[in-house]
Amino acid sequence: MTHFFHTVIIGAGAAGMLAAARIGQTGHRVALLDHAAKIGEKIRISGGGRCNFTNRHLNGHDGSAYYVSQQPRFVRYALSQFCADDFVALVEKHGIAYHEKHKGQLFCNGSAQEIIAMLQNECAEGKVTWHTACTVENVETFQTASADNDPRQPRFRIQTAQGIFHARNLIVATGGLAVPAIGASPFGYELAKQFGHSIVPPEAALVPLRFEHWAEHGYDRLAGIALPVRISTGSGKARMAFDEDLLFRHKGLSGPAVLQISSYWHGGQTVDIDLMPDTDLAAALCEGKAGQKIQLNTALKSLCPTLPDRLLDTWLALPEFAPYAAHKWADVPNAVLTRLGHSLNRWTLLPSGSDGHKKAEATRGGVNVKEIDPKTMQSKLQSGLYFIGEVIDITGWLGGYNFQWAWSSAACAAAAVCREAV
């Protein structure tokens, strides 16, 4: 059975659903295909079940600073055409209650399921045809001059387990590789390659980091501790730093600080963590010791009120500090105090790797933006072919930036396909 559509979208996630709704509502026939039986799964599990659906910091600003890509400026046009406030207007139209948590992050008061329902309702309004549990077997083009020039002619033949689809436009919205258990696949990259696109190697991003000898140092015993830190990696102009919360785990580190820095971290690079940002501990320890009879461990605890005792005890149990932990503060040599202070202000770690795609919230890399038009999301190599959302080499910071990219790129592509009248 052959179906004809103005636009076929592969991937019924965040970007795919929004694009489908907008194209359908313009009066075009649009089909949304997904190999998963249950759609919107990433939205459902996002933001701890409350979906951090956008970030207010993107309103009226150049948003490129919040994105990792070979060319972060690629995001500018799309984000300016459909900004955070545009998505908020949609959320309000559907009566979804939301709140700002911090740093501009907007979450549903209730459940992420409300965002899925909203997108489904928008699709229903656009009479979108759904094909779930639908495996796409192959995609071919009708490579004739008439197919390209006559807007009534299909350009693509999409063979699936549920029949053949002919479409004028094909939008690839298959997302990244994070959490394969709920439908992530490399299909979008393979399809892009078929049309000559290059792929920036996809890697796990917004992901916990692991370290060798973690348990040997006793850090595994700190699991569960969360505290605000300054974390940084890279050097020179490429150095990135975040002030966020760190979370100790049995196998390494996580929390917003580590998730953020993981998107900038490359194998072999070290990560620096300042456990007491804004306090020069070496100076405080050396300058404050004169005449002090209290033990070093007591002194350290009073100088670091935000650090849990469990963490400071582990620190003072490290071989280079252990012999001094119970000494009178005044008697501890300045060289030791300086090393101790520096070790807390600049804890340098060499990650051995990350938790990988299984535990990541995003994928760094993807379809190279150099071969995509930033104003339409259309391929520069194949007319009628579009890429939107996370399948592109665009990765947002933690905090609603990835969903906003999905919405903005989807809106741009939808506007572009609708400009070509049939």
Binding site residues, ligand FDA, CB under 6 A = 10-16, 33-36, 39, 42, 45-47, 51-52, 136, 173-175, 178-179, 183-185, 187, 361-362, 389-391, 400-403, 406
Helices (H), 152-200: 187-194
Least separation, in Å, of the C-beta of 224 and ligand FDA?
Answer: 20
Please state, as a whole number, how many other Cβ atoms lie within 10 Å of the Cβ of residue 1: 6
Is the CB of 200 or the CB of 317 nearer to ligand FDA?
Answer: 200
Q: Which amino acid is at 241?
A: A
**Cβ atoms < 10 Å from Cβ of 291:** 8
- CA 121 centroid distance within chain: 26
* Nearest distance from C-beta of residue 10 to ligand FDA, angstroms: 5
Rounded least distance, CB 204 to ligand FDA, Å: 10
Beta bridge partners of 180: none
The first and second tokens of residue 341, run together, are 């202070």
If the CB atoms of residues 263 and 402 are measured against ligand FDA, the closer one turns out to be 402
Cβ at position 241, least distance to ligand FDA in Å: 21
What is the distance between the alpha carbons of residues 64 and 79, in angstroms, rounded to a whole number?
A: 9
Q: Is 345 helix (H, G, I), strand (E, B) or coil?
A: helix
Q: Residue number with the shortest CB distance to ligand FDA?
A: 13
In whole angstroms, the minimum distance from the beta carbon of 410 to ligand FDA comes to 8
Name the DSSP class of 80.
H
- Residue 175: both structure tokens together: 């997302």
CA dihedral 363, 367, 368, 373 (to 10 degrees): -120
Q: Judged by CB, which is closer to ligand FDA: 219, or 397?
A: 397
CB of 124 to ligand FDA, least distance (A): 18
Q: Which residue has the tokens 């694009």?
A: 19
What does the block give as tokens for 122? 């928008």
Sequential DSSP letters for 226-265:
EEEEEEEE--GGG-EEEEEEEEEETTEEEHHHHHHHHTT-
- Of 18 and 222, the one with the shorter C-beta distance to ligand FDA is 18
CB 100 within 8 A of CB 106: yes
Cα torsion at 67, 73, 77, 79 (round to 10°)? 10
Measured from the CB atom, the residue of 52 and 69 that comes closer to ligand FDA is: 52
Q: How far is the CB of 41 from ligand FDA (least distance, A)?
A: 6
Closest to ligand FDA by CB, 183 vs 256, is 183
Q: Which is nearer to ligand FDA, 37 or 223 (CB)?
A: 37
